[in-house]
Amino acid sequence: MIHNQQVEQSILIPAGASPKSLTAVRSLGGHGVHTVVASSIPTAPAISSKYCDEAIIVPSPWDDLIAYKNALVEIASRPDVEAIIPSLEEDAFLLAKYADEFTDHVAHLWPSFETLRVAHDGKLLAEEAAKIDIPVPETMLFDEVNDWSRKLIIKPRYSILTSEYDDSLDPTECRGKIDPIHPRPGEELTYDEVTAKLSGYPPLVQEYVPIKREYSFRALYDHGEAVATSLKHQVRGKSYAGGASVFCELVRNPELEEMGRRLLDHLDWHGLATVQFIEDARTGEFKLTEINPRMWASIPLDVRGGVDYPYFYWLMALGKMDQIEQSYDEGFAAHILFGEVEYLLSVVRDDYPNAERPPIQRALWDVLRSVYEHPNFYFLTWDDPRPFGRGVLNVLTSAIDNRRGQLFRRETERTERQERTVNQ
Write down the pTM of the prediction: 0.85
pLDDT for the residue numbered 334: 86
* Domain boundaries along the sequence of the chain: 10-108, 138-207, 211-373, 387-424
* pLDDT tens by residue, 216-258: 999 999 999 999 999 999 888 888 887 777 888 999 999 999 9
Q: How many CB atoms lie within 10 A of CB 101?
A: 16
The pLDDT mean for the chain works out to: 88
- Does domain 10-108 fall under CATH 3.30.70.260? My reply is no
pLDDT beyond 50 at 2: no
pLDDT beyond 50 at 28: yes
257 residue type, one letter: E
Those residues whose C-beta lies under 8 Å from the C-beta of residue 293, and which sit 6 or more positions away, are 86, 89, 92, 96, 110, 111, 116, 119, 120, 271, 272, 273
Question: Could you give the CA distance from residue 269 to residue 293 in angstroms, rounded to a whole number?
Answer: 9
Question: Could you give the CA distance from residue 27 to residue 285 in angstroms, rounded to a whole number?
Answer: 36
Question: Could you give the CA distance from residue 337 to residue 339 in angstroms, rounded to a whole number?
Answer: 5
211-373, which class in CATH? alpha beta
Question: Could you give the CA distance from residue 217 to residue 316 in angstroms, rounded to a whole number?
Answer: 20
Nearest to 236 by CA among 355, 389, 114, 106: 355
* pLDDT tens by residue, 54-89: 999 999 999 999 999 999 999 999 999 999 999 999
Backbone angles phi, psi at 197, to 5 degrees: -70, -25
* pLDDT tens by residue, 167-210: 999 999 999 878 899 899 998 889 999 999 998 899 999 999 99
Pairing of strands 139-141, 203-207: antiparallel
Nearest to 393 by CA among 21, 43, 38: 43
